[in-house]
Amino acid sequence: MGETPKQSQIRSNEFEELVLEHMDMLYAVALKLTRNATDAEDLTQNTVVKALRFHDKFAEGTYIKAWLLTILRNTFINEYRRKVRRPTFVELSGAEAAKNTAPDPSVPYEPEEQSPSELFELLDDEVKLAVESLPEDFKQAVIMADLEDKSYKEIAEAMDCPLGTVMSRLYRGRKLLRDRLREYAEDRRLVGRKKE
């Protein structure tokens, strides 16, 4: 007898928790492989997304740490191969120096710090409501990452929590937003309509 949708959801949530517990370990390994914090964050995020997407392929009783590290390693290798295969573009014309587009140093400029409330004004009402409805920790992480363009490290420092927790909050916050804004995105043809 198969699982009910509720049992399947419970199993899915338990699996998600299990994966997210290993986030810091995955980031540490990704950092060793990439030797770059930004690339390590991306590699960790891609690994977690793949693990969650293919959780049905995870056999009960398998050592999850080894399974996750295999996904991370394979993702790293595939991304490395893609970069190696990508052709290098060389500008063959225009040997002259590029026009100077730097701002005039004689004009003083003080960049304004935009607060989240000012950035919120740029969002549609439906999007504002969806962001506001998120649990506080998820909302803070999403605002700092997606509106203030802060790095995972900066968010971790601001929220006084480990990188893995930031990634977890971002993943969950963005997932909630996607679910809440599905109809909004469909109406604006940003995504295809869900098949009934």
Fold (CATH) for 1-86: Rna Polymerase Sigma Factor; Chain: A (1.10.1740)
Instruction: Provide the pLDDT for residue 193.
Output: 67
- CATH class, 113-196 region: mainly alpha
Most confident of the following: 12-21, 87-96, 135-144: 135-144
Decide if pLDDT at 78 tops 70. Answer: yes
Tell me the residue type at 119.
L
Indicate where the chain has its CATH 1.10.1740.10 domain(s).
1-86
Higher pLDDT, 46 or 85: 46
pLDDT grade, residue 111 (50/70/90)? very low
Listing DSSP states for 125-187 in one string gives: HHHHHHHHTS-HHHHHHHIIIIIS---HHHHHHHHTS-HHHHHHHHHHHHHHHHHHTHHHHHH
